[in-house]
Amino acid sequence: MADDVERVVERLDGDRWERRTVMSTSADRAARVLREQVVEGLLRSGTRLPEQRLAAAIGVSRNTLREALSQLVAERILVREPHRGVVVATPDADDVADVYRVRLLIEPAAVLHGTGHTAPRLAALRAAVEEGWTASGAEDWHGVASANQHFHRAVVALAGSARLDAEAELLLAEMRLFFHRMEAPGEFHRPYLDENAVIADLVLAGRREEAAGRLTDYLASAQGQLVAHFLGPGRR
């Protein structure tokens, strides 16, 4: 986990000068930077976040970073632990069930009723499918998980709502923490690559109702699989 922080600090420090041209030092933007590290699987459950080093890497003051950390605690992505400080949260089965309740409301509706089915957004949906297949061919399961995140981000974007896009970022951060708990990531992710492709093809063909129905079944199946894994044998 210390290695996770080292990699993230190096990455953030390397990106800092580029971010200076497009980002202020506000807490919400600092929170976005850290949240993205969770979404992309670079910060894992239980990782302690060193304030001074992260503040320097992002290019904000420690007070601003503390505001950002408090925001992420409120979002349930981070938690405060006695004698350790702020660490990346470790979700449980109730968290899985609750996140999927929200996803089952948002994602099929974005496919069925969304007003954002534009050419660039449809292209992003298909690109995420191709990204997943490429990563799978290399047996890069971290890359497959990232591609899956990108696919579902693209699904929500079909709604054409900036507010839902922001909500999706919170959900995807929690989702990535769920994925880290799966002991056989290849077995878990591989079947969903084909489902992503089928759903994308249906959306691109304008068959929204079929795509939304398929996505509903897909999400319900993933929810059941993850909850069962989190509960463990004898508690399912």
* Residue 148 CA: distances (Å) to CA of 84, 132, 138: 32, 7, 15
Q: What is the reported pLDDT for 26? A: 82
Mean pLDDT (the chain) is: 88
Residues making up the chain, counted from first to last: 236
pLDDT tens, position by position, 65-90: 999 999 999 999 999 999 889 999 99
d(CA 19, CA 213): 40
State which amino acid sits at residue 45: S
pTM for this structure? 0.82
Q: Which of 209, 183, 211 is CA-nearest to residue 195?
A: 211
* Helices 62-74 + 27-39 axis angle, to 10: 60
Question: Does residue 148 contact residue 196 with C-beta atoms inside 8 Å?
Answer: yes
Q: Which pLDDT band holds residue 24 (cuts at 50, 70, 90)?
A: very low
Summarised one tens digit per residue, pLDDT across range 86-136 is: 999 999 999 999 999 999 999 999 999 999 999 999 999 999 999 999 999
Instruction: Tell me the domains of the chain and their CATH numbers.
Output: 2-88 (1.10.10.10), 93-231 (1.20.120.530)
Residue 219 pLDDT exceeds 60? yes
Determine the distance from the C-alpha atom of residue 32 to the mean position of all C-alpha atoms in its chain, rounded to a whole number: 12
CB 169 within 8 A of CB 116: no
Tell me the per-residue pLDDT of 125-180, one tens digit each, with 9 for 90 and over.
999 999 999 999 999 988 998 999 999 999 999 999 999 999 999 999 999 899 88
